[in-house]
Structure 1
Amino acid sequence: MHWSSGSSSKTLKGDALCVIIAETELEGGKQAGEWTGKINLLAQAGLFAGKLNQTYVLPAEGQPGPAAVILAGSGSALLGAEELRVIAAQAARAALRLKAARLIIRIPDSLSLLTAIGAEAAGQALAEGLVLGAYRRTHYKREQPVYTGLESAVFHLERNAVEAESKEWTQGIVRGKAFAEATNLARNLTNLPGNLLTPSELAVAAIEVAERHGFPAEVLDELEIEQKGMGGLLAVGKGSAHPPRMIVIRYQGTARWENVTAIVGKGITFDTGGISLKRAPGMEEMISDMGGAAAVLGVMEALGILRPQINVVMLIPSAENMPAANAFKPGDIVTSLSGRTIEILNTDAEGRVVLADALTYAREWGAERIIDVATLTGAVLSILGDIATGAVTNDEGMMEAFRAASIRSGERIWQLPAYPEFRELLRSEVADLRNTAGRYGGAATAGLFIGEFADGLPWIHLDIAGTAFLPKERGVNPKGATGVMVRTLLEYLLHLSPGEEAGAADEVEG
């Protein structure tokens, strides 16, 4: 992936050329160049209106260069980052339908995108959208396709870029590519079927990330989990033939291990509900119950590429929640790593129980703030559907910074209340806490249960139960796993760095 400027896009080699068209441009028949007549006919027939999320493919008959032209609607002529992501994603999907290996995206001056958000942000958004849109889910059919997807892409600016602008375009594309590839890694893991991704296999995937980038890592097996006193994780995982794991990866980007942020991902590789068995319809989607673990692993992948000056410890408590003769059951009392006892009222409220041990363990690794990511509750779907991620926090300043990161990433979050009355609902008569407070306020009380184990550290909980796995394609996200929160976590973490990330060897060029 690279960018170019100045010379005609006709001189670039590609299988398809994407031309961005705004709704207002169709009114005057401008900016379409040699395709103006055809585009006007399409507009008159109601086949293409230049709206965002709209594409149309024209054969480039008698024209030198690419054999097909992809018309991509932009809606407005003045674009923000999210519109650019969507345009690039739709262009990539159109290219996949054409089975194109090389794509050129023409960036006309008329869009005024550089005055809207700047060259670096534009480059990042376009690179993110292109890589996210080109994602294809792995399938296991006997006959595999010959076409392997997009191999290269060029963003072509119609005018010559000045030196400072060239540096910004390059930096933006490097970052956007890293963000999107990390998100796609999370998507791949989340889409894996449960028989191919057990807790031990998730640990293998994590070690591969750590070894690829030279990060120190640790994996605790079931015996070490028991010896350590992680009673919550042990209880949830003991009903499965695949024992639990606690996975830790450390990224140190400064000389001293200080100002450490912990990112914790729920790693339930399959969730039947345990003894409190779920209904059968839709249970197959519980392969996505480790979407939080996939997200934090994706973050570590991007940190390995970008190398910012920050310190991050990643923790994944991983288990398979199954019904069995030795499975934990309603009425059990388990003792967490923190020493707090938990009354189990519902074994399908298992994610918060394993995360409790992980938050306590994060403190042992020097965490000064914690963010946990989890497909935690069905209740959050009742509030936000699959449109936004629910958030609970004990620190409004940290939440405000994270909300700003979500605006930059285009991933919506919505803060849920943390009223003292909700905390009271978690009190048990026979233990320190109970693992569910009932139907009402379920998304908030579940988050607040986890927050008890932050023990006063600044903390944010992200409930991605609605946003981690979609029933159909939307925006830059495909059907199935989305890799949600990878990009927002990265936006937040990189803004903790005192300077720019060190950069990475990449094929981006001007």
Structure 2
Amino acid sequence: MIFEWSSEAGTAPPQGDVRCLIISEAQAQGEGLAADWAARVRLLSAAGLFSGKQGQVYVLPVMDPPEQPVVILAGCGKGQMGMPELRQLMAQTARAAYRLKAATLVVQIPAALGGPAGALMAEQAGQAIAEGLVLGSYRRRQYKLEQAFYAGLDTVQLRMERKSEAAEEEAWRQGIKRGQALGEAANLARDLTNRPGNLLTPSGLAVAAIEIAERHGLPAEVLDERELELKGMGGLLAVGHGSVNPPRMIVIRYQGTSQWENAVAIVGKGITFDTGGISLKRAAGMESMFSDMAGAAAVLAVMDALGHLRPKVNVVMLIPAAENMPAANAFKPGDIITSLSGRTIEIINTDAEGRIILGDALTYARQWGAQRIIDVATLTGAVASILGDVATGAVTNDQAFLEEILVASRLSGEQIWPLPVYPEFRELLTSEVADLRNAAGRYGAASTAGLFIGEFAEGLPWVHLDIAGTAFLSAERGVNPKGATGVMVRTLLEYLLRAAAEPDNFSAET
């Protein structure tokens, strides 16, 4: 998708398939609109079809169009929109344009938006508009014999209704660039997560990672099963042992400063299909378990965006990738395995496999010099019992670190709720025969699962994000489509971009 930005004053009329007008409730009554549009919008308001309420979208064919035959009226309520409201409005606009099979969309930006009198500054407004349009344009790939071809929106023209100064224009362009990068990264994560398990194995995920690394000139490594054994990654090897598709450890490094210091590790669970192993899941719902690598997709998409934006921050990405399958040689309840850290783990339930492979990844992140660690995982059904598909659960050993992630989540609009980490929950992980047991029963399961991973942080500031409820939706909601959402991609990027802009406030010592 190509974005073009310009001021209305002194430019030629825009050409495109569809035009979007952002209309407030007052304008829906005819206030402040050009005479020809005021009459049309008042008529729609009187008929109860469009009143300018926040998020309301109405498609209006125009009999005598000056430039476009169809206009999308997008309601902005009282007119004082924040980033979440503007992002959502643009996502709905993009969906309307998709239904119209438009190739070019012209968005008329109100004069007050992005100016000193508005609720949003130019860079924020530009980011929210671009982000929403890209997110709303996403469609899941189809695997059908016959498909109607439509490439989607190709060009978006953003037209400011007033003349703007050079500094404001640059702020708009920077915001648009950032919003497009965040939106495209989330869409990449959606694409990877939606890919069926037979089309994305651990080695296939490694290929996708290498392609991204090579595209941006980032150093990367992929450890195969022989190298995993040599290094002693017993957790990842055990989980992947029952599959004909062997496990992989995938690493990409992004260095945005002159020295490799204050590095942040982002770790994503990469179970490309999860049957539960010997502790087999129920049949109902197992068909969506190809999405159990949504955490891996999220951190991989973050690296792609970092390659585009090039912020001054250091990040190492790690993905432990495996299939969890039942087989004669699969790991079993009652087994005791040795992790990369040297800790032994008593296997209580083979369907609690994500925390095991993440343990090895966190230890390896420490070896790569990480000073902070964030892991993203579709870890527990228990978190969905608590928070549904509305919010991501968080477990941490460093409240100040979590607060920084929460600030980023408020900017992205992706909701996070901290889970309790009482000492009594940690005691439930105690094993009589090993250092840890990998499951502690139903009670407090989202917290205990997170605390298991936290053992391998070994005191480094660490945040665990459980996206089991938010990574995959059964119906479209907000800026997210049905299926994979790409959740936490934009939150992680907001955090890392803020860390790059304010490095003194995000050092490992804080």
TM-score normalized by the length of structure 2: 0.95
- Asked if the contact 2:109/2:160 (under 8 Å) is kept, the reply is yes
Measured after TM superposition, the shift of residue 29 of structure 1 is 4.8
Structure 1 residue aligned with 2:145, among 130, 142, 146? 142
1:463-503 per-residue CA deviation (whole Å, 9 max, x = no partner) reads 00111111111111111111010110011011111479xxx
**Structure 2 unaligned runs (5+)?**
504-510
Q: What SS does structure 1 have at the residue aligned with 2:361?
A: helix
- Asked if the contact 2:113/2:120 (under 8 Å) is kept, the reply is no
Q: What SS does structure 1 have at the residue aligned with 2:500?
A: coil
What is aligned with 2:506? none
What is aligned with 1:494? 497
Check if 1:369 corresponds to 2:360.
Answer: no
- Asked if the contact 1:59/1:68 (under 8 Å) is kept, the reply is yes
| Distance (Å, rounded) in 1 between the aligned partners of 2:102 and 2:189 | 25
Check if 1:189 corresponds to 2:187.
Answer: no
| Distance (Å, rounded) in 1 between the aligned partners of 2:441 and 2:8 | 62
| Distance (Å, rounded) in 1 between the aligned partners of 2:167 and 2:108 | 20
1:137-176 per-residue CA deviation (whole Å, 9 max, x = no partner) reads 1101112322211000011110111111111001101111
What is aligned with 1:50? 52
Measured after TM superposition, the shift of residue 32 of structure 1 is 6.4
Check if 1:471 corresponds to 2:474.
Answer: yes
Tell me which amino acid in the other structure corresponds to 1:175. R
- Asked if the contact 1:81/1:117 (under 8 Å) is kept, the reply is yes
1:240-269 per-residue CA deviation (whole Å, 9 max, x = no partner) reads 110100000000111111111000000000
Structure 2 residue aligned with 1:448, among 423, 444, 451? 451
1:65-108 per-residue CA deviation (whole Å, 9 max, x = no partner) reads 01100011223310000111111111111111001000011111
Measured after TM superposition, the shift of residue 44 of structure 1 is 2.5
More displaced, 332-341 or 112-121?
A: 112-121
Q: What SS does structure 2 have at the residue aligned with 1:496?
A: helix
Structure 2 residue aligned with 1:93, among 95, 99, 122? 95
| Distance (Å, rounded) in 1 between the aligned partners of 2:335 and 2:367 | 27
- Asked if the contact 1:394/1:460 (under 8 Å) is kept, the reply is yes
More displaced, 156-165 or 201-210?
A: 156-165
1:115-153 per-residue CA deviation (whole Å, 9 max, x = no partner) reads 212100110111100111111111011123222110000
1:184-239 per-residue CA deviation (whole Å, 9 max, x = no partner) reads 11000000000000000000000000000000100001111111111110111001
Tell me which amino acid in the other structure corresponds to 1:162. E
What is aligned with 1:239? 242
Q: What SS does structure 2 have at the residue aligned with 1:440?
A: coil
1:348-378 per-residue CA deviation (whole Å, 9 max, x = no partner) reads 1110000000000000000000000000000
Tell me which amino acid in the other structure corresponds to 2:434. A
What is aligned with 1:505? none
Tell me which amino acid in the other structure corresponds to 2:214. E
Tell me which amino acid in the other structure corresponds to 1:259. N
| Distance (Å, rounded) in 1 between the aligned partners of 2:484 and 2:352 | 22
What is aligned with 1:198? 201
- Asked if the contact 2:276/2:325 (under 8 Å) is kept, the reply is yes
What is aligned with 1:504? none
Tell me which amino acid in the other structure corresponds to 1:65. E
Q: How does 1:203-214 map to 2 (within 5 A)?
A: 203-214=206-217
Structure 2 residue aligned with 1:340, among 318, 339, 343? 343
What is aligned with 2:64? 62
Q: Cα distance 1:51–1:113, how it changes in 2: closer, same or farther (>3 A)? A: farther
Measured after TM superposition, the shift of residue 401 of structure 1 is 0.9
- Asked if the contact 1:271/1:322 (under 8 Å) is kept, the reply is yes
What is aligned with 1:289? 292
Tell me which amino acid in the other structure corresponds to 2:486. G
| Distance (Å, rounded) in 2 between the aligned partners of 1:247 and 1:324 | 25
Structure 2 residue aligned with 1:252, among 230, 255, 279? 255
Measured after TM superposition, the shift of residue 10 of structure 1 is 7.5
What is aligned with 1:299? 302
| Distance (Å, rounded) in 1 between the aligned partners of 2:453 and 2:33 | 54
Q: Cα distance 1:10–1:20, how it changes in 2: closer, same or farther (>3 A)? A: farther
Tell me which amino acid in the other structure corresponds to 1:480. G
More displaced, 48-57 or 122-131?
A: 48-57
Check if 1:350 corresponds to 2:350.
Answer: no
| Distance (Å, rounded) in 1 between the aligned partners of 2:449 and 2:432 | 18
**Structure 1 unaligned runs (5+)?**
501-510
- Asked if the contact 2:352/2:439 (under 8 Å) is kept, the reply is yes
- Using the aligned pairs only, state the percent identity: 69
Measured after TM superposition, the shift of residue 50 of structure 1 is 2.1
Structure 1 residue aligned with 2:418, among 415, 418, 423? 415
Q: Cα distance 1:309–1:384, how it changes in 2: closer, same or farther (>3 A)? A: same
Off by >6 Å, runs of 4+ in structure 1: none
Q: What SS does structure 1 have at the residue aligned with 2:499?
A: coil
1:35-73 per-residue CA deviation (whole Å, 9 max, x = no partner) reads 333322322222223233321111121121011000112
- Asked if the contact 1:186/1:483 (under 8 Å) is kept, the reply is yes
What is aligned with 1:107? 109
Check if 1:175 corresponds to 2:178.
Answer: yes
What is aligned with 1:223? 226
Measured after TM superposition, the shift of residue 7 of structure 1 is 2.9
Q: What SS does structure 2 have at the residue aligned with 1:208?
A: helix
TM-score normalized by the length of structure 1: 0.95
Q: What SS does structure 2 have at the residue aligned with 1:109?
A: coil
Tell me which amino acid in the other structure corresponds to 2:92. Q
| Distance (Å, rounded) in 2 between the aligned partners of 1:402 and 1:298 | 18
Give aligned pairs, total. 500
Q: What SS does structure 2 have at the residue aligned with 1:247?
A: strand
Structure 1 residue aligned with 2:169, among 166, 169, 183? 166
| Distance (Å, rounded) in 1 between the aligned partners of 2:51 and 2:391 | 29
| Distance (Å, rounded) in 2 between the aligned partners of 1:40 and 1:9 | 29
| Distance (Å, rounded) in 2 between the aligned partners of 1:3 and 1:90 | 20
